[in-house]
Amino acid sequence: MDHKLLDILVCPASRQPLALLSKAGLEALNRAVAGGGVTRVDDSVQTEPLQAALVTRDRKRVYRIDDGIPVLLVEEAIPTGQIDGFPAG
């Protein structure tokens, strides 16, 4: 992802800056997805593993990146509180 673009992206709900999710965070998220039960803000189930994602500064929401394009829809964000072992920082 282009770092210039990353510098201006913010969470559409909280307006917090976004950062690329670390490898450890992505692994924890994908383990939870594989185990089932990971839901988005709109209560739909996240069934596919993520290849890349953005996370809010407070680490409470994750937005997936599909084919290099951030999906910054509030209803499709994944709350991190439901993910066991999600790294704090």
| 88 belongs to a structural domain | no
pLDDT at position 88: 84
| 11 belongs to a structural domain | yes
Q: What is the pTM of this model?
A: 0.92
Who contacts 85 (Cβ-Cβ below 8 Å, separation ≥6)? 28, 31
Residue at token pair 């969470």? 11
* Chain segment 33-82, per-residue pLDDT in tens: 999 989 999 999 999 999 999 999 999 999 999 999 999 999 999 999 99
Geometric angle at alpha carbon 60, from 62 and 11, rounded to 5° = 60
Is 14 within 8 Å of 62 (Cβ atoms)? no
| 51 belongs to a structural domain | yes
Is 34 within 8 Å of 27 (Cβ atoms)? no
* Chain segment 21-42, per-residue pLDDT in tens: 999 999 999 999 999 989 999 9
pLDDT at position 5: 74
pLDDT at position 63: 98
Structurally, how many domains does the chain consist of?
1
Q: Is the pLDDT of residue 1 over 70?
A: no
| 25 belongs to a structural domain | yes
